[in-house]
Amino acid sequence: MKRKLTLILLSLTFTSCFFSNYESELIKSPTGNFEIKATVNRTDKNAEDFAYVIIHLYGKENNKLTELNTGAGDGNKWTIGWTEVGDTIVLQSSDIGNKAWILNQDKPNQIKMTDELNERAEFLYSEKYK
């Protein structure tokens, strides 16, 4: 009986992880001027952002500047972070590939991936999924 109860509780615990919304911690940019966090809507299937990784950008005063739908799906592995220098957001996604956005006038503008940006994306991925 104990064994069955344990299996049921473990199943409920793992299932609840997949049926609740996700919100990452805030990640400060190297310059200290910005912070980002990622969210995923895992519960409202009727919403336009269902299962997409959304990046939220905050300024120095912790004021929300904008949000960005990355197009990355939560069904695959992904991670976000910053370049080591400057204010460039990097996304590594196993379903849509790597993307980067540079911040100009507090707004993200997607830029072409370079070898250096791809290396950073892969490093962030390796750190998250050790």
pLDDT at position 4, please? Answer: 62
Total-model pTM = 0.83
Enumerate residue ranges in the chain where pLDDT < 50.
12, 14-16
| Tens of pLDDT, residues 90-125 | 999 999 999 999 999 999 999 999 999 999 999 999
Domain residues of the chain, as ranges? 20-128
- Other CB atoms closer than 10 Å to residue 123's CB: what's the count? 15
pLDDT at position 10, please? Answer: 53
What dihedral do alpha carbons 76, 80, 83, 89 form, nearest 10°?
110
